[in-house]
A and B are shown apart, each in its own frame.
Chain A
Amino acid sequence: MNQFMEWITQPWPWYVAGPMIGLTVPALLIVGNKSFGISSSLRHVCAACIPAGIPFFTYNWKKEMWNLLFVLGILIGGFIATSFLANPNEIVIAEQTQAELSAIGITDFSGLLPADIFNWENLFTAKGLLFFVVGGFLVGFGTRYAGGCTSGHAIMGISSLQWPSLVATIFFMIGGFLMTHVIMEPLMKLVGF
């Protein structure tokens, strides 16, 4: 049992995590003919809470309840993994990434998320505005405009051989590269890093 716990609390390698994520695709298809996709849940929340008569949100969201339960499950899974199966050691980050992030003002490399950015004290500051408000907005707006996110397009779409999903995934990456290499540093300076 101890050995098992030791093994399970280690960070899982990509060749365990990737196939497990991939298996979600047939699991959802087989248990209920559902297409793997997560960003749709944001749309269902809009439809359920703030439809405001907008045609895009006027549909029977109750029939998409499975998707809301699926994401609730992800939240609970996050809680279980962190509470009972947490890695006792600090996260290992590539040296060069650490060096580059230090150079733009990140000082905390102990947690899964840098405490310099992700804490409540930053909420009403320029840092919070950039990383929580602007960042979240881009994720919500972009995924819906694209009709899916990493799960719906990159994983479900590409694995069912749909080229529009490959196009979407390529543009996810282009956006991410541009933000990381060009826009992020000046933005971080601007918000006080």
Chain B
Amino acid sequence: MKVLEKKIKADVCDAPNSRIDHDKGHELIKYLIIGVVFGIVFVKAEIISWFRIQEMFRLQSFFMYGVIGSAIVTGLISIQLIKRLGIKTIHGEAINIPTKEFKKGQIIGGFIFGLGWALTGACPGPLFAQIGSGFTVIFITFLSAIAGTWVYGKFSDKLPN
């Protein structure tokens, strides 16, 4: 029960996670490893390609729809299995999936992100994989994305939400 009480409020962070004390030091390496596998998939399936994103928005290739669609189906089945079988974390805790509340930001912000997605050919994940793949100039895109995030944070209470 103590673990559950440690849950943070949803408005503190967009990706609230149960903060667990054993996630310290070397325990964090597992996230690095999952990230590495993920980054390899991004490059090997050419998801980091600007051309793939153009094909998607021009409806000229099924590829990205296949990737995102099958990722959602896999995630959906996994979450249903976790819920129905009561699968716990490796530390024996109940798995907790935070609810996302509807805000106007999902419409306005989502639309703004979409504009940027088509221009850069990257959502935030592929940005990191592009830099790692040697497209070093994408570091500038990354810095600008940090700036965009910062400006949102600065004015978030003045924007419709």
Contact = CB atoms under 8 A, between A and B. Distances in A.
Interface of A: 8, 11-43, 45-46, 50, 52, 54-57, 59, 63-67, 69-82, 85, 87, 91, 93-94, 96-97, 100-101, 109, 112-114, 117-120, 122-123, 128, 130-165, 167-181, 183-184
Given A138-B115, A177-B57, A78 B133 contact: yes
Contact of A180 (B15, B44, B46, B58): B58
Interface string B53-75: 11111101111101111111111
Interface in B106-135: 106-125, 127-135
Contacts of A87: 44, 46
A185 to B, nearest CB: 12
Nearest to B83: A160
> 4 closest pairs, A vs B, by CB?
A73-B35, A175-B114, A77-B39, A145-B109
A21 to B, nearest CB: 4
A71 B128 contact: yes
Nearest to B156: A56
**Interface size grouping (class) on chain B:** 35 or more
Interface in B17-50: 17-20, 23, 27-50
B110 A175 contact: yes
A73 B31 contact: yes
A121 B73 CA distance: 42
20 contacts: A12-B45, A14-B45, A14-B64, A24-B38, A30-B90, A33-B17, A66-B28, A75-B131, A76-B35, A112-B130, A113-B51, A135-B120, A139-B116, A142-B112, A144-B148, A149-B113, A149-B124, A152-B14, A155-B68, A179-B119
A65 B81 CA distance: 28
A12 B113 CA distance: 27
Given A118-B50, A155-B75, A180 B144 contact: no
A164 to B, nearest CB: 4
Contacts of B148: 42, 136-142, 144
A18 B150 contact: no
Contacts of A26: 75, 78-79, 81-82
B97 interface: yes
Interface of B: 12-20, 23, 27-51, 53-58, 60-64, 66-76, 78-79, 81-82, 87, 89-91, 93, 95-103, 105-125, 127-138, 140-154, 156-157, 159
B141 to A, nearest CB: 4
A26 B87 CA distance: 10
B111 A33 contact: no
A150 B34 contact: no
Contacts of A41: 124
B46 A11 contact: yes
Contact of A33 (B20, B63, B147): B20
Nearest to B143: A136
B71 A19 contact: yes
Contacts of B79: 25-26, 29, 159-160
Nearest to B103: A147
A80 B149 contact: no
A172 B114 contact: yes
A176 to B, nearest CB: 4
A153 to B, nearest CB: 7
